[in-house]
Amino acid sequence: MANKIAKITEYLVYLALASLVVIWFSINSASSDNVAVSATVSSSMVSCTTATDTINFLATLDNSTISSTTDAVTTMSSSGSIQITVYDTGSTSYGGGLVGPSGNAFIESPSSTFSATATLVAGQEMYGLQAATTSGTNVKISTRYNYASATSLLIGRIATDTVNPTVIASSSAAVSSEKVAATLKAAAAITTPGGAYTDTITFGCLGGI
């Protein structure tokens, strides 16, 4: 009988210990602990500097000439791929272009057809951009704008899309202080209302594209 009682007592002690173990694990699993986690994310260094924020026409537009601006030169550096983009304020009603006096006149970009490119013709309302690289070999000009020269009349459309701005130039490789020069050219018609025409061009930079 004594042995039987001893075994029963031993069994009860075992159950008590087992219960304690279960309770301890239950409490521990319900508690919360702060765990510090650290990580390093590789970043693509991108730097773009445009010499001018806005560009003014050098001459008064008339129906017999084609006017151009001084170059807006953007210097680009990156540790990986990079793009230069462009968009303008233009008009909420018409899109990209030059807004005339009191917003009542407008010269579309590149022309009234709003095509990707156009050839400037004196006496017709037209407005667009040309671009060229002035240093480095990695950056390539987009086809739409790759017509820059003193005599070239081919221009690319400037749009007002700030979400998906148009790419002027890009490189799939790292670049160091490579330069892109952008030139605006425009023409007016004999029926174009006189006065001051304005537009604000925004150049942007995107890395890791």
Is residue 204 pLDDT above 80, yes or no? yes
pLDDT in tens, 144-170: 999 988 899 999 999 999 998 999 999
* Predicted pLDDT at 90: 87
If you average pLDDT over every residue of the chain, what do you get? 79
The end-to-end CA distance of the chain, in Å, is 85
Most confident listed range (85-89, 101-105, 196-200): 85-89
The pLDDT value given to residue 1: 56
The predicted-structure confidence for 174-198, as pLDDT tens digits, reads as follows 999 999 999 899 998 999 888 888 8
Q: pLDDT tens across 38-58, in order? A: 454 445 578 888 876 555 665
Answer for the pair 145, 183: CB distance below 8 angstroms, yes or no. Answer: no
How far apart are alpha carbons 126 and 144 in whole angstroms? 15
What single letter denotes the amino acid at residue 181? A
Integer Cα distance of 197 and 101 in angstroms: 7
Residue 139, classified by CB atoms within 10 Å of its CB into exposed (0-12), middle (13-18) or buried (19+), is buried
pLDDT at residue 36, as a whole number: 54
CB distance 170 to 81 below 8 Å: yes
pLDDT(72) > 60: yes
- According to DSSP H, which parts of 31-177 are helical? none
Q: Give the span between the Cα atoms of 28 and 31, in whole angstroms.
A: 5
- Position 30 pLDDT exceeds 80: no
Top pLDDT among 61 and 84 is at: 84
- 131 by Cβ neighbours in 10 Å (0-12 / 13-18 / 19+) ranks as buried
Mean pLDDT, to the nearest integer, of 93-102? 84
Mean pLDDT confidence for 127-140? 94
Residue 110 reports pLDDT greater than 80:
yes
Question: In this structure, which topology does domain 46-207 adopt according to CATH?
Answer: Immunoglobulin-like (2.60.40)
Q: Sign of dihedral through CA atoms 98, 115, 184, 206?
A: positive
